[in-house]
Amino acid sequence: MSEKYYTLAQLGWKTFFNQQLTLDDLEQTKPHRITQVFRNRLVVLGEDGELNLDLAQYPNLQGTTIGDWLLVSNNAVDIPVILERQSVFQRKSPGANSHQLIATNVDTAFIVSSFNQDFNLSRIERYLALCKEAGAVAVLVLTKADLVNQSQLDEYLEQLHDLQSHLVILTVNALDSESCQGLFDWCGVGQTVVLLGSSGVGKTTLTNTLCGLQEKTAAIRQDDNKGRHTTTSRSLFFAVSGGLILDCPGMRELQLTDCEDGIKEVFSDIEDLARQCKFADCHHHQEPGCAVQQAIKAGLLEERRLTNYQKILSEQARNSMTLAQVHQKDRKFGKLIKTSIHSKKHRIDNF
């Protein structure tokens, strides 16, 4: 990336970000986008090329992630400013009471799944909820169709079409650029696409194909039908069509947080049925007059779908509540520090 120069429009700059700038910003800073995230530094790209920002020097950037826009001072001394995000992909950090940013300022998400052990409707529903909450377009990309016969393929596709109306579903061979041509509709100049999915489904191979990169994935292992690529960090690449592609490390666990609206939109069919239940506080188990259970008995709704809806809705409520409690604790601690400093200053003044 550093060998070429790009316009802000090519880097994904939009009116949304431009409207945040003041006259001083326009005169004294230049926009840069985070293209790589490492433990101790960020790589950012602007019209003048690439910069490395030391996180030890700029601790305010610790909470940034791939895709963020920064205003970097022309004098290289002032602290970079983080612009408001147009979209945010985040999840609960595995094993921690905090959230983890996945990507920001994304237009489209390719949810990548494969026709092997990875294929899981409930997991796909999680990714769809994540996309809805972020306000990004979701495109379901299915790889490794050669692992199943035509009847199995048709069965898979039928299940997927029942998940969400108007869901775009594309089947590709990640190694074949011709097979991936349909994906370029979302990869135009200035458009940012994030690839989401488990490890081994072909995200990196797909990134290489879309971006015309030479690196290839080794042959698929027979025991688990997975390739040998493992993405360990997040990076932005340019697609041959001009868009920006973000390949994320595979996620073994996707626990949702602050995602209630996205969940309810993905499961709008259950939400609509719930409003028809006899009791407003119906839990959709054995309550009389439950429209949701009636739909299941009539074959209009899968019990699996209801179970997943209840599971992730409860999960996100628990995760979000935990985050709120952490924030409340931080605010109380901040007030305690301010009180302590004020008290100390008062004692010194009266000494």
Closest CA to 137 of 184, 174, 178, 192: 192
Buried b (16+ CB within 10 A) or exposed e, 242-275: ebbbbbbebbeebbbbbbeebbbebbebbeebbe
CA atoms within 13 A on the CB side of 94: 6
Q: Is 30 annotated as belonging to a binding site?
A: no
Q: Write the Ramachandran bin of 292: left for phi over 0, alpha for psi from -120 to 50, otherwise beta.
A: alpha
Q: Is 211 annotated as belonging to a binding site?
A: no
Q: Is 339 annotated as belonging to a binding site?
A: no
Q: Is 239 annotated as belonging to a binding site?
A: no
C-alpha torsion 93→138→128→88, nearest 10:
30
Q: Is 108 annotated as belonging to a binding site?
A: no
Q: Is 340 annotated as belonging to a binding site?
A: no
Q: Is 204 annotated as belonging to a binding site?
A: yes
Q: Is 262 annotated as belonging to a binding site?
A: no
Q: Is 226 annotated as belonging to a binding site?
A: no
Q: Is 145 annotated as belonging to a binding site?
A: yes
Strand blocks (E) in 164-315: 168-171, 192-196, 235-238, 244-247
How many whole angstroms separate alpha carbon 321 and alpha carbon 140? 30
Please compute Rg for the chain using Cα positions.
23
Is 88 strand, coil or helix? strand
Place of tokens 């030479």: 214
Q: Is 65 annotated as belonging to a binding site?
A: no
Q: Is 98 annotated as belonging to a binding site?
A: no
Q: Is 250 annotated as belonging to a binding site?
A: no
Is 182 strand, coil or helix? helix
How many whole angstroms separate alpha carbon 145 and alpha carbon 114? 7
Q: Is 199 annotated as belonging to a binding site?
A: yes
Please state the residue numbers annotated as binding site.
143-146, 197-205, 277, 282, 284, 290
Please state the residue numbers annotated as binding site for GTP.
143-146, 197-205
Please state the residue numbers annotated as binding site for Zn(2+).
277, 282, 284, 290
